[in-house]
Amino acid sequence: MNNRPDLDRIQRRIGYQFHDPELLMLALTHRSHSNQNNERLEFLGDSLVNMIIAEYLYHHFERAREGQLSRLRARMVKGVTLAEIGREFELGQYLRLGSGEMKSGGFRRDSILADAVESIIGAIYLDSGFETCRERVLEWFDKRLQRLDIQDTQKDPKTRLQEYLQSRQFPLPLYEVISVDGEAHAQTFHVSCALPSLDRKTTGAGSSRRIAEQQAARAALKQLGVETN
């Protein structure tokens, strides 16, 4: 959140040394801070990460159908996943934000962290080309990619719960944040999922509100007997 963050430290965290450090500085600059910001790099990085992950999935899931590959890619490149990577780098403390965003906690907001990760991907591509960029992205995503299998192509718990309720003409679930624990860069969200028409309520926890909501929805599906694991 400094006007001039410690670039050496963030470069060690991401595992890449920039030839042109000003590209990294631009990638860390939110639009609230300056007209010269990371929006164009974010646009570039978004396309790159989609391409890199798509290529990986194409070669590693040879029997997967197009729809399955699309869902696997969506799981990998969604904002929540990118924000998680940003938190692993402790990226929030390096972002250049306007005073309003700083006061409102923008440095821990999923959307801002995800955009910054995409911007850094775009910056690495401009600094060293596609091969180096692909190497860095696959390294960042490695543990998540290793956990993937075709079963991950099923719909997420919130969607499955919603469809279950709608098919029975029940009202949609109500999600509410119960509490937020931990330091700014490593928070845990606790969320409830209420099913008023069925008089049921479950809870979930995660590193973002979305993840906590998914966990609460999964618990609701189990409580309803729709899923057993």
Is 115 annotated to bind a ligand? Reply is yes
Helical residues (DSSP H) of the chain, grouped into ranges: 7-14, 21-27, 39-60, 66-77, 79-88, 99-103, 110-128, 130-146, 157-167, 209-223
Give the tokens for residue 23: 């590209």
Q: Which amino acid is at 14?
A: I
Which of 84, 101, 118, 156 is an active site residue? 118
To the question of whether residue 139 is assigned a binding role by annotation, the answer is no
The answer to whether 57 touches 146, Cβ cutoff 8 Å, is no
**Pairing mode, if any, of strands 188-195 and 200-206?**
antiparallel
From CA 131, how far away is CA 168, in angstroms rounded?
50
Q: Is 118 a catalytic residue?
A: yes
42 is in an annotated binding site: yes
Instruction: Report the C-alpha gap between 95 and 84 in whole angstroms.
Output: 15
Which has the closest alpha carbon to 1: 90, 85, 92?
92
Q: Is 156 a catalytic residue?
A: no
Active site residues: 46, 118
Annotated binding-site positions = 42, 115, 118
Annotated binding-site positions for Mg(2+) = 42, 115, 118
